[in-house]
Chain A
């Protein structure tokens, strides 16, 4: 039972390149989330999705694009990577997205933008 997986786990790219981070969950959770983790900031929400084809911005959405064509997948794309997007990216999911529900996290993707 894989739960929630992310790929790649590590990525090095150059400024200006497009990068897509993948997230896959096997729980059939409705809600999925993307966070970035930076020193001194904790985790900040980038985008979230309530269901297939329904997405919404979080706290720090600029420079990112998401899509959700299937319930189990929630890719995050950096259309033109910048150095400030060097970070650790976490995908998370929760069953119905209600405030009282626990969010379960994937293992993270470490992204370095040169």
Chain B
């Protein structure tokens, strides 16, 4: 089965600081999704990356996909308290199964 490992497991940053979350797959990535979850709530779709080298941005969040390294990174510039939550990467294995990483908990201190 496919495994997605995220690092770091948790992150505490001062407001205004930049940060990066990594997601590494045990198998070839055919597509990589990033979601954000407020504690105990549903997931909010952030971005989907499909091609190696692809990079997408939305507001202050940028995600990149390195297909060769089977890795994706999520970068937040000038973090704000509204960025706090759990960030999850997810991927499908083309076998109609979808896997999520273990999650990265982000706390932003005002």
**Is chain B found bound to chain A in the same assembly?**
no
